[in-house]
Amino acid sequence: MHIRPAMVAAGRTRFGEHYEKEPETLIEEAWLKASAETSIERKDLEACYLSDYFLPITNKLGLEEGFLSELTELHVPMEVTRSFSSALSNACNAINAGRYDMVLVGGIEKMTDRWDKIRDDLMLLEDPWSYYAGCTPEANHELLLRAYTKKYGISGGDLEKLYIALAQISVKNHLHATKNEYAQYQRKITVENVLNARKEARKLLGLYDYAPVSDGAAILVLTSDKVAKSFTDKPVHVLGSSSATDFLTFPAREDLTHFVVSKLAMTNALKMAGVSLSDLHLVELYDQSTVMEMVSLEDLGFLEAGKAWRSIYESCQNYDGFYNVDGKPLYVNMNGGLKADGNPLGATGGAQVFELFKQLRGEACDRQVKSDEELKHGCMLEIEGFGTKGYVYIFGSD
């Protein structure tokens, strides 16, 4: 990139059930936390990019741009996308093109305001054809798991270890969330809790295998590299980014065991950033289910296809805060992931970026990565739908 986009401030709300708070209250709370880190004011913003999936449905907000203009008292260019990563992509392109020097990227969702219908909304978002066949938002995750175990011939004792490894992912993410003041669930769970929930549901995956329904907001301020130096001596740069798209209908895809969008986006993002996979020790994965975290480790190239569960199982026997990958630590979902941090769709990617921003600046408090090697790079994966669209970003502190 000719002009490197740089993050100079980030803020977010706690994720959870915020029935008592309007969307404008949440997004303002996130903005105030971000602006408090620098001397940036609303009048300094040249453009805004906002993400949400369901605000027109959950809160009857038709033109979200007008909602944001009213809230910020600005008349600058504003655009709305679905995911936070999509909003960030538009912002990066604008900075890169030299059109703006400072933009706001925000994400907001109030999913619990439509609690009785939100599962229908989620299923239509993921796969409308499966929805009309009677599918649920959880069904594709179990289909992915069944296809995975069949393709790689996992059975007997190995299959039992795989199921335990998936439970360990949930336990690990809940453990990380206990150190995250913004997380929806700040409590520990056990492998037994996960396994018992599966027994109660009489399914391969249970309550503790899935991310929750959440409300929340996240904000970041993106500037050009030159402008960033005026506001902070610790900017975090967007070194590489990419996205890819696949069929909407999951059963129609050629491979039901992996997300091709993640593979393609990672390959292109690494090439753009000019770094190698071995340079990445910190990653935020889109774990809408424990299966998705396991598969994403393979899709991004960190672990061999069909064998990620082995590394997870072995690393979590005596968990030291990371997965052991070929003798090197890989820190995954230090904020608790979607599973424990929460999953307010339009703001979810913002929480992932927020975590990487804080980690790369050494400001993640008790959850700060303590590695023998200097932490210079971080990576995030955000997915729209069920592997229909994938975004990968690589950030750097230098």
| Domains in the chain: boundaries | 5-116+213-228
CATH number of 5-116+213-228: 3.40.47.10
CB-CB neighbours of 191 under 10 Å: 17
Q: Which amino acid is at 177?
A: A
Q: How far is CA 186 from CA 54, 339, 353, 368, in A?
A: 26, 11, 20, 17
Can you tell me the distance from the alpha carbon of 345 to that of 54, in angstroms, rounded to the nearest whole number? 9
Please give the Cα distance from 48 to 328 (Å, whole number). Answer: 39
HEC per residue, the chain? CCCCEEEEEEEECCCECCCCCCHHHHHHHHHHHHHCCCCCCHHHCCEEEEECCCHHHHCCCCCHHHHHHHHHCCCCCEEEECCHHHHHHHHHHHHHCCCCCEEEEEEEEEHHHHCCCHHHHHHHHHCHHHHHCCCCCCHHHHHHHHHHHHHCCCCHHHHHHHHHHHHHHHHHHHHHHCCCCCCCCCCCCCHHHHHHHHHHHCCCCCHHHECCCCEEEEEEEEEEHHHHCCCCCCCEEEEEEEEEECCCCHHHCCCCCCCHHHHHHHHHHHHHHCCCHHHCCEEECCCCEHHHHHHHHHHCCCCCCCCHHHHHHHHCCCCCCCEEECCEEEEECCCCHHHHHCCCHHHHHHHHHHHHHHHHCCCCHHHCCCCCCCCCEEEEEEEECCCCEEEEEEEECC
**Per-residue pLDDT reduced to its tens digit, 247-268:** 999 989 999 999 999 999 999 9
The tens digit of pLDDT for each residue in 298-334 reads 999 999 999 999 999 999 999 999 999 999 999 999 9
Return d(Cα 17, Cα 185) in angstroms, integer.
11
Contacts of 11 (CB under 8 A, 6+ apart): 29, 30, 31, 32, 33, 34, 35, 36, 37, 218, 219, 220, 354
Q: Phi and psi (nearest 5°) for 57?
A: -90, -50
| Largest distance between two CA atoms of the chain | 62
Which is it for strands 282-284 and 102-110: parallel, antiparallel or unpaired?
A: unpaired
- Express each pLDDT in 118-148 by its tens digit: 988 998 888 888 888 888 889 999 999 999 9
Euclidean distance between CA atoms 82 and 88, whole angstroms = 11
Token output for 5 = 């986009």
44, exposed or middle or buried, with CB in 10 Å at 0-12, 13-18, 19+? Answer: middle
For residue range 153-195, what is the model confidence (pLDDT) as tens digits? 999 999 999 999 999 999 999 999 999 999 999 999 999 999 9
Residue 129 amino acid letter = W
Say how many residues make up the chain: 398
Condensed to tens digits (0 to 9), the pLDDT of residues 65-112 reads 999 999 899 999 999 999 999 999 999 999 999 999 999 999 999 999
CA dist., res. 213 & res. 133, Å (int): 23
What per-residue confidence (pLDDT) applies to 309? 98
Residues facing residue 78 across a β-bridge: 48
pLDDT 10s digits, 366-397: 999 987 678 999 999 999 999 999 999 999 99
